């Protein structure tokens, strides 16, 4: 959804459309998070009238899918791949291995014994 | 000898007043758990590294001093595009009409 994309390209890593999309989803979620949490609070609060809670439920489900945290997926910052990404290094296992062998990742060393 | 429930509730109420916690003996769900959660947005949005200084910024910054930085990568790219265009392999021109109305010209 291009309306969530930043007008000026602001990524400093490898970028393909999937990475750009994920980045805009992250930013959209960040912007909408207080609203989402407020609605979630209203829905979970059993002391509020049932009608208010139902309306809040409807509003939450009708928010744009880009504002949903479940849409966010960690992608590789070196190649944009979405699978086999090591969370600590934000890289796929192969890119991680390449960088580690080259010595570009501080504190990571190939084991040998 | 057992303590009556009402007395226990009074004790809990006093405790709640003292330590300024919510008195909720029935365990009614008030959704306060949601309010206690931290916002995850800033951490999630900071996942990808943002664009920092580019060569173009450097050029703009130092141009008034008469200094020039060569953007080798960018120049290579422009050369490559020019060579492709010379071979007739360049990108096609943008259409003047939007894709919806084909019959109009």
- Asked if residue B66 is part of any domain, the answer here is yes
Tell whether B63 is covered by a domain. Answer: yes
Q: Hey, is the C-beta of A16 within 8 angstroms of any chain B C-beta?
A: no
pLDDT value of position A9: 87
B82 in a structural domain: yes
Instruction: Answer yes or no: is B17 within a domain.
Output: no
B31 at A interface, C-beta within 8 A:
yes
pLDDT in tens, B52-92: 888 888 888 888 888 888 888 889 999 999 999 999 998 88
d(CA A17, CA A108): 30
Taking the Cβ of residue A23 and every Cβ of chain B, the question of whether any pair is shorter than 8 Å is answered with yes
**How confident is the model at residue B66, as a pLDDT?**
85
State what percent of residues in chain B have pLDDT above 70: 92
| Cα nearest neighbour of B40 on chain A | A30
Element (H, E) at A39: helix A17-44
Q: What is the pLDDT of residues B33-52, one digit of tens each?
A: 999 999 999 999 999 999 88
For chain A, list the domains and their CATH numbers. Answer: 15-73 (1.10.287.1480), 74-113 (4.10.830.10)
Cβ–Cβ below 8 Å for B49 and A13: yes
Residue of chain B with shortest Cα separation from A40? B34
Q: What pLDDT shows up at residue B104?
A: 53
Tell me the β-bridge partners of A92.
A85
- The count of CB pairs under 8 A between chains A and B is 68
Nearest chain B Cα distance for residue A27, angstroms: 5
Q: Is residue B47 part of a domain?
A: no
- The domain tally of chain B equals 1
C-alpha–C-alpha distance, residues B36 and B39, integer Å:
9
Residues of A in contact with B25 (CB under 8 A): none
Residue B97: pLDDT above 80?
no
Cα B90 from chain centroid? 35
Q: How many CB atoms lie within 10 A of CB A74?
A: 14
Per-residue pLDDT of chain A (113 residues; tens, 9 = 90+): 788 888 888 888 899 999 999 999 999 999 999 999 999 999 999 999 999 999 999 999 999 999 999 999 999 999 999 999 999 999 999 999 999 999 999 999 999 98
Question: How many C-beta atoms lie closer than 10 Å to residue A68's C-beta?
Answer: 16
Residue A90: per-residue pLDDT: 94
What ipTM, to 2 d.p.?
0.86
Contact B42 A30 (CB under 8 A): yes
Q: What is the CA radius of gyration of chain B?
A: 34
Name the residue range of residue B66's domain: 55-86
Identify the pLDDT of residue A98.
Answer: 94
CB < 8 Å to A23, chain B: 47-48
């Amino acid at each position: 959804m291009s309306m969530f994309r930043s007008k000026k390209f602001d990524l400093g890593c490898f970028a393909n459309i999937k990475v750009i999309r994920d980045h805009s989803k992250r930013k959209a979620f960040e912007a909408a998070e207080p609203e989402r949490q407020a609605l979630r609070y209203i829905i979970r609060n059993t002391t509020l009238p049932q009608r208010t809670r139902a309306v809040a439920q409807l509003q939450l489900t009708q928010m744009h899918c880009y504002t949903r945290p479940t849409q966010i997926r960690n992608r590789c910052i070196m190649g944009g791949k979405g699978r086999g990404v090591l969370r600590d290094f934000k890289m796929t296992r192969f890119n991680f291995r390449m960088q580690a062998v080259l010595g570009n990742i501080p504190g990571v060393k190939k084991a040998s014994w | 000898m057992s303590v009556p429930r009402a007395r226990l509730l009074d004790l809990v109420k006093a405790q709640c007043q003292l330590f300024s916690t919510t008195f909720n003996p029935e365990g009614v769900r008030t959704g306060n758990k949601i309010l206690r959660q931290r916002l995850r947005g800033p951490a999630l949005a900071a996942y990808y590294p943002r664009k920092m200084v580019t060569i173009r910024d450097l050029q703009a910054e130092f141009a008034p001093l008469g200094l020039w930085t060569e953007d080798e990568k960018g120049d290579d790219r422009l050369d490559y595009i020019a060579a492709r265009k010379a071979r007739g392999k360049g990108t096609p021109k943008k259409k003047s009409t939007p894709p919806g109305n084909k019959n109009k010209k």
